[in-house]
């Protein structure tokens, strides 16, 4: 399997090279040259497989020529051994035709563990084979950072630097990152928004001398390996509910568009996906696009669902590339114009193509609190703010006879204040994190300045690699 850039000016690469590169040199995102195809017979043969075996089977075509399926299986078994539910990604029915798939049973209580626990092991495997060291940089709006840190902490071949927006994550989210003492971990609190943090990461990758000197790699969902590792749980849910002999729909609380892109990818691979619904908070750029072709950046407003406080959804570029018939020149022009003007000029035909499969629903904080309360009272289900938005989106988009699966992306204990307000319940952290608020924090507050942050990272990487 080879990978190409959405902007067409970077050389094609193998999976291992894409894993280590993260972002393409032309500023684009890597995509598989062709989508693996599974037949109905193939899908049926996967029913009932333990989750690690299913994951290895599904991901194997994407790593072909780089990592064998046997190696993938070994790494997947290790990655998911730490999850605290035997099913790894259990399904719960909350209403007639409406199901919730819980993705938060990993070590940091968020769906990012589903990919990160495997990604850390993939990095280790490839870097050991090549006898190399890389510096991983990532931006987080709350959950990516802690999942990346937990997956990569203590690994000799990885230095990890995570940027988060100062004061714009929950305290649990921040402490999960900043209380990890391993020497290869550096946390930077940026005076700005998540979009600022994401722009800084992209700026580092565009600074080719810095990128080369630091051997930069990425753990954000700009790294294709993240998307590949998220595809299996959609397949697990669909097969559990009757696919390929029955269509299924998905609703996903969405910020950077990576999680729902993985759901869309399963359709490209032959799974009968009927509909995909984007759940947004008050930072509703994706819902505005789907409803009115209005992809215009607004100010990022803090909300009860901080992981979705985003106005630049990086992975949308991958969908745009496909909807444009893989015309990399048009894709590059549209994306460059978006960053220049703050408005994405999507052709009407392309927008209409997106609307044939996608819809969007946005909830503000008041509506989110109401949805959390409604779920608890009517179904006895405790959903964090992100998951509640996804469930509401799924309810709005469900069709008779088509099971709708909403993604529960974070444990409610990560957002205790919101849960207390909505339900009167203060959910407890699991035993492994019970002392989180007693642990010592370790992070630096930095200005939104690319040169200053590059110097900080250079110093940290030199310190960590000795």
pLDDT digit string, tens, across residues 403-456: 999 999 999 999 999 999 999 999 999 898 999 999 999 999 999 999 999 999
Q: What's the pLDDT at 463?
A: 67
* Domain CATH for 290: 3.40.50.1100
pLDDT value at 466 more than 70: no
Round to whole Å and give the CA distance between 78 and 274.
33
Q: What's the pLDDT at 279?
A: 98
On average, the pLDDT of the chain sits at: 95
pLDDT value at 197 more than 90: yes
Helix%, strand%, coil% for the chain, nearest 5: 50, 15, 35
Q: What's the pLDDT at 427?
A: 94
Residue of 284, 155, 313 whose CA lies nearest to 220: 313
* Mean pLDDT value across residues 304-313: 93
**Strand spans (E) along 133-240:** 134-139, 158-165, 185-190, 216-218
Q: Is residue 147 part of a domain?
A: no
Token pair in block for residue 325: 């018939």
Token pair in block for residue 183: 């020497």
Select which of 112, 374, 414, 420 is catalytic. 112
pTM over 0.85: yes
Q: What phi and psi values does residue 316 have, to the nearest 5 degrees?
A: -60, -30
Q: Is residue 184 part of a domain?
A: no
* Mean pLDDT value across residues 120-148: 93
Residue 112 is a catalytic residue: yes
Cα 291 versus chain centre, distance: 23
Round to whole Å and give the CA distance between 278 and 286.
7
The kind and range of the H/E element at 102 are: strand 98-102
Question: Which range marks the domain in which residue 295 is found?
Answer: 91-109+224-423
Q: Is residue 431 part of a domain?
A: no
Q: Is residue 444 part of a domain?
A: no
Q: What is each CA distance from 140 to 137, 200, 247, 252, in whole angstroms?
A: 10, 12, 34, 18
Are 405 and 91 in contact by the 8 Å Cβ rule? The answer is yes
Instruction: Tally the domains of the chain.
Output: 1
Matching residue, tokens 């700026």:
203
Question: According to the 3-state scheme, what is the secondary structure of 307-371?
Answer: HHCCCCCCCHHHHHHHHCCCCHHHHHHHHHHHHHHCEECCCHHHHHHHHCCEEEEECCHHHHHHH
Residue of 405, 407, 392, 404 whose CA lies nearest to 362: 392
Q: What's the pLDDT at 464?
A: 61
At 54-108, the pLDDT tens digits run 999 999 999 999 999 999 999 999 999 999 999 999 999 999 999 999 999 999 9
pLDDT value at 158 more than 60: yes
At 234-286, the pLDDT tens digits run 999 999 999 999 999 999 999 899 999 999 999 999 999 999 999 999 999 99
Q: Is residue 74 part of a domain?
A: no
């Amino acid at each position: 399997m080879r990978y190409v850039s959405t902007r067409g000016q970077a050389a094609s690469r193998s999976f291992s090279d894409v894993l280590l590169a993260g972002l393409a040199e032309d500023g684009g995102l890597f995509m598989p040259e062709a989508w693996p195809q599974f037949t109905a017979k193939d899908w049926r043969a996967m029913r009932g497989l333990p989750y690690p075996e299913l994951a290895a089977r599904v991901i194997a075509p994407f790593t072909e020529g780089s990592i064998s399926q046997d190696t993938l299986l070994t790494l997947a078994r290790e990655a998911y051994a730490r999850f605290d539910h035997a099913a790894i990604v259990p399904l719960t029915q909350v209403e007639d035709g409406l199901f919730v798939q819980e993705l938060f049973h990993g070590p940091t209580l968020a769906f990012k563990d589903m990919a990160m626990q495997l990604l850390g092991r993939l990095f280790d495997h490839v870097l050991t084979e090549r006898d190399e060291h890389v510096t991983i940089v990532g931006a987080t709006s709350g959950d990516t950072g802690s999942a990346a840190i937990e997956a990569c902490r203590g690994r000799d071949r990885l230095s990890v630097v995570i940027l988060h927006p100062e004061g714009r994550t929950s305290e649990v989210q921040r402490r999960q990152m900043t209380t990890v003492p391993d020497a290869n971990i550096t946390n930077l609190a940026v005076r700005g928004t998540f979009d600022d943090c994401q722009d800084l990461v992209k700026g580092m990758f565009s600074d080719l001398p810095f990128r080369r000197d630091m051997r930069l790699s990425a753990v954000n969902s700009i790294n294709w390996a993240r998307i590949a590792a998220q595809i299996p749980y959609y397949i697990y849910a669909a097969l559990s509910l009757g696919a390929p002999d029955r269509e299924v729909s998905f609703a996903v609380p969405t910020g950077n568009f990576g999680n729902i892109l993985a759901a869309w990818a399963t359709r490209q691979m032959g799974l009968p996906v009927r509909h995909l619904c984007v759940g947004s908070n008050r930072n509703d750029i994706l819902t505005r696009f789907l409803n009115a072709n209005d992809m215009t950046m607004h100010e990022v407003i803090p909300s009860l669902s901080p992981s979705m406080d985003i106005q630049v959804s990086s992975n949308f570029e991958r969908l745009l590339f496909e909807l444009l018939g893989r015309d990399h020149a048009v894709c590059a022009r549209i994306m460059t114009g978006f960053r220049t003007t703050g408005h994405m000029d999507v052709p009407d035909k392309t927008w209409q193509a997106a609307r044939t499969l996608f819809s969007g629903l946005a909830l503000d904080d008041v509506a989110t609190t109401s949805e959390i309360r409604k779920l608890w009272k009517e179904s006895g289900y405790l959903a964090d703010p992100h998951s509640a938005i996804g469930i509401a989106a799924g309810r709005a988009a469900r069709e008779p006879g088509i099971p709708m699966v909403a993604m529960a992306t974070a444990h409610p204990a990560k957002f205790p204040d919101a849960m207390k307000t909505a339900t009167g319940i203060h959910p407890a952290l699991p035993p492994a994190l019970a002392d989180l608020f007693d642990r010592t924090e370790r992070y630096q507050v930095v200005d939104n300045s690319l040169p200053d942050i590059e110097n900080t990272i250079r110093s940290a990487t030199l310190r960590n690699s000795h």
